[in-house]
A and B are shown apart, each in its own frame.
Chain A
Amino acid sequence: MDAVSKSHVFPSPIGESVTRVDALEKVTGEAKFTDDLQFGAGLLYGQVVRSPHPHAIIKRVDVSRALALPGVRAAVTGEDSDDHIGLYLKDRYIFCRDRVRFVGDPVAGVIAVSESIADEACRLVEVEYEVLEPVLDPLQGVQEGAPLLHPDLGEYVVADFIDPKPGTNIANHFKVRKGDVEAAWSKCDVIVECDFRVPHVQHVPLETHVAVARVDQTGKIILWSSSQSPFAQRNLIAEALNMSQSDIRVIAPYVGGGFGSKAGVSVEGTAVVMARKVPGHPVKMRLTREEEFYCAFVRQGLIARTKVGAKSDGEILAMKTEYYWDAGAYTEYGVNITRASGYSSTGPYRIPNVHADSYCVYTNHPVGGPMRGFGMPEIHWGIEQIMDMVADELGMDKVAFRLKNCLRGGDKNVTGMTMHPIGLAECIEKASKAINWGEKAPASAPHKRRGKGLAIMWKAPAMPPNAGSSAWVRFNEDATVSLGIGGQEIGQGSFTVATQMAAATLGVPLDWIHISAPVDTKYSPYEWQTVASRLTWSMGNAIVQAAEDARRQILDIVAAYWDEDPNDLDVKDGQVISFKSENAIPLKDMVVYGLPLPDDQGWHGGPIIGHGNFMPTYITSLDNETGQGQRAVVHYTTGCQAVDLEVDTETGQIHLLRVASAFDVGKAINPDQVRAQMEGGVVQGASTAILECLQLKDGVPQNPSFTDYRIATSVDIPDEIIPIIVEVPQDDGPWGARGVGEHPMVPTAPAIANAVAAALGVRILEMPMTPEKVFLAIQEKLGEA
Chain B
Amino acid sequence: MATHKISFNVNGIRETAEVPSNMTLLTLLRERLAITGTKRGCDTGECGACTVLMNAEPVNSCLVLAVEIDGTDIVTVEGLAQDGQLDPLQEAFIQHTGVQCGFCTPGILIAARALLDRNSKPSRREIKDALRGNLCRCTGYTRIIDAIQEAAEVGG
Contact = CB atoms under 8 A, between A and B. Distances in A.
A454 to B, nearest CB: 19
A712 B141 CA distance: 9
A276 B41 CA distance: 28
Contacts of A207: 39, 41, 101, 103
B128 to A, nearest CB: 4
Given A3-B95, A26-B105, A256-B103, A679 B135 contact: no
Nearest to B27: A115
A119 interface: no
A207 B76 CA distance: 18
Contacts of A506: none
Q: Chain A contact residues (Cβ within 8 angstroms of B): what range?
A: 35 or more
Identify the interface centre among B41, B101, B103, B109: most chain A CB within 10 Å of its CB: B101
Interface residues of B, number: 54
A1 interface: yes
B94 A676 contact: no
A621 interface: no
Interface in B58-115: 76-78, 80-81, 86, 89-91, 93-95, 97, 99-106, 109
A717 B141 contact: yes
Contact of A676 (B47, B100, B127, B129): B100
B43 interface: yes
B101 A20 contact: no
A28 interface: yes
B57 interface: no
B78 A706 contact: no
B152 interface: no
A33 interface: yes
A143 interface: no
A152 interface: no
B131 A33 contact: no
A38 B33 CA distance: 11
Contact of A205 (B34, B37, B134, B137): B137
Contact of B37 (A1, A30, A257): A30
Given A206-B136, A705-B46, A711-B137, A257 B101 contact: yes
Nearest to A258: B101
B97 A259 contact: no
B132 A29 contact: no
A27 B76 CA distance: 11
A466 to B, nearest CB: 29
Given A206-B49, A289-B42, A714 B141 contact: yes
Given A38-B34, A680-B139, A706-B44, 11 more contacts: A1-B86, A27-B86, A28-B80, A29-B37, A31-B102, A256-B103, A259-B137, A705-B46, A712-B141, A713-B141, A717-B128
Interface of A: 1, 3-4, 7, 19-20, 22-33, 35-36, 38, 203-208, 254-259, 288-289, 490-493, 672-673, 676, 679-684, 705-707, 711-715, 717, 721
Closest 10 CB pairs of A and B: A29-B37, A491-B101, A256-B103, A683-B140, A26-B102, A491-B100, A706-B46, A36-B36, A29-B77, A714-B131
9 contacts: A1-B86, A22-B102, A23-B97, A27-B93, A28-B37, A256-B39, A681-B140, A713-B135, A714-B127
